[in-house]
Chains A and B, each alone.
Chain A
Amino acid sequence: KQEVTQIPAALSVPEGENLVLNCSFTDSAIYNLQWFRQDPGKGLTSLLLIQSSQREQTSGRLNASLDKSSGRSTLYIAASQPGDSATYLCAVDNYGQNFVFGPGTRLSVLP
């Protein structure tokens, strides 16, 4: 059964810093991996989708990479801003198991 973990659980950084969030999964038989952010009391906003055949995706200051063989994905946030403060979740779309979510990384960017 697929298990998804995220490290760190929480992160606090000063504004302007570049940072990396990590997502690991145990079963490499995935269709794709998706990164989301969730603001308190809100639903999830899709950030990036990486299909299993892809190595990375970029959107603005965000860059997500995928290494299927090692079961890892990273989300790189450049020049962080206070508005980036949120919980970031990764989710993998598995063969025959639908999406499995990680527990999230709670990010605080201090002004």
Chain B
Amino acid sequence: GAVVSQHPSRVICKSGTSVKIECRSLDFQATTMFWYRQFPKQSLMLMATSNEGSKATYEQGVEKDKFLINHASLTLSTLTVTSAHPEDSSFYICSAARTSGSFGTGELFFGEGSRLTVL
């Protein structure tokens, strides 16, 4: 399968600082990438859809000024958690859609996730 790399895998930061998480599709171009948040023993919660060259589409209840998403190229999307607080501590996962010429978003491939701990 295709490879999506997510970095860093773990990050610990102080309250009030900003943290950037990168998501790269290594062997295909991804017009669309997605960012999720996952709480322990729960399913994925979609935060936003990131489209290359345009503004991200945020899900209801997700603060766009808090979670900045940039998709500057077809292989890279970044999520920046600004002024992080302890309640932002979570597991963040990205995915990239690989299209195959058929209809639909495509086949999803996921990064390994980033564990954020805000002290």
Residues of chain A whose beta carbon lies under 8 Å from any beta carbon of chain B: 30-32, 34, 36, 41-46, 49, 51, 89, 91, 93, 98-99, 101-104
Q: Which of B34, B46, B95, B108 has the most CB of A within 10 A?
A: B108
Q: How far does the alpha carbon of A68 sit from the alpha carbon of B1 in the complex, in Å? A: 25
Q: How many of B's residues come within 8 Å of A, CB to CB?
A: 25
> Is residue B104 contacting chain A, with contact meaning CB distance below 8 A?
yes
- In angstroms, how far is the closest chain B Cβ from the Cβ of A99? 6
- Contact partner of B110 (CB less than 8 A), chosen from A31, A44, A103, is A44
- Contact partner of B108 (CB less than 8 A), chosen from A42, A51, A99, A103, is A99
Query: By DSSP majority rule, is chain A's interface helix, strand, loop, or mixed?
Result: strand
Q: How far does the alpha carbon of A41 sit from the alpha carbon of B91 in the complex, in Å? A: 8
- Contact partner of B43 (CB less than 8 A), chosen from A46, A89, A98, is A89
> Is residue B27 contacting chain A, with contact meaning CB distance below 8 A?
no
Q: How far does the alpha carbon of A91 sit from the alpha carbon of B36 in the complex, in Å? A: 14
Query: By DSSP majority rule, is chain B's interface helix, strand, loop, or mixed?
Result: strand
24 contacts between A and B (CB under 8 A): A31-B102, A31-B103, A31-B104, A31-B105, A32-B104, A32-B107, A34-B108, A36-B108, A41-B115, A42-B112, A42-B113, A43-B110, A43-B112, A45-B110, A91-B108, A93-B104, A93-B105, A98-B49, A99-B34, A99-B46, A99-B108, A103-B42, A103-B43, A104-B43
Contact with A along B63-74 (1 / 0, CB 8 A): 000000000000
> Is residue B81 contacting chain A, with contact meaning CB distance below 8 A?
no
Please, which residues of chain B bring their CB within 8 A of the CB of A91? Answer: 108
Q: Given A41-B91, A41-B113: A34 and B44 within 8 A (CB)? A: no
Interface contact B115-A98, CB-CB below 8 Å = no
Please, which residues of chain B bring their CB within 8 A of the CB of A104? Answer: 43
> Is residue B28 contacting chain A, with contact meaning CB distance below 8 A?
no
Q: Given A41-B113, A46-B109: A102 and B103 within 8 A (CB)? A: no
